[in-house]
Amino acid sequence: MDSEYKTGRDIFNCRQCGDCCKGFGGTYVDENDILNISAYIKCDPEQFIDRYCDRSGSRHVLALGNDGYCIFFDRTRQCTIHPVKPYMCKAWPFIQAVISYPENWNAMAGACPGMKKDIPYADLEKIVKAEQAKLKCSEHGKIKKQAGQISQA
């Protein structure tokens, strides 16, 4: 029997509610994220880390504001760094933790109204891997385009 779940759109429809931007758990940022966001907000990367990041173990995470939302979330404008948001945000909810531990999907869906629950694990794994591959292709294309623009300058 053919599954009704074939693509990311079959199991996730973002509602633009901002719930994924709230609460501790941490939006991890790597060096590339830090450099991109710093340039976007015109801030020195070291000052960015001091001003906008917390530590979670050995890694940097975006700090939370007093309201419990990501420091870059605005209830009216939503993500104020959307063009350069961290990889983890771009990938949501198709993150590696779902492949490693598929039960995470239902836990995450409990906090995200756009995620369907109880997706068969085989379908979930296929869809998450496909969505990750699409994102990596997209990211690779942006890097190639940027490199081409730099070499033409």
Angle, CA 22 vertex, CA 29 and CA 135 arms, to 5°: 45
Q: Running along the chain, 153 residues long, what does each successive block of 10 average in pLDDT?
A: 87 92 84 96 96 93 94 94 94 89 91 94 94 85 49 45
Q: Tell me, what's the pLDDT at 141? A: 57
Q: What is the pTM of this model?
A: 0.79
Q: Tell me, what's the pLDDT at 82? A: 94
Peptide bond preceding 93: is omega within 30 degrees of 0, i.e. cis? yes
43: three-class secondary structure by DSSP: coil
Q: What are phi and psi of 129, to 5 degrees?
A: -60, -40
Q: How many CA atoms lie within 13 A of 98 on its CB side?
A: 28
Nearest to 80 by CA among 40, 27, 43: 40
Q: Tell me, what's the pLDDT at 24? A: 64
Q: Tell me, what's the pLDDT at 142? A: 59
Q: Tell me, what's the pLDDT at 147? A: 44
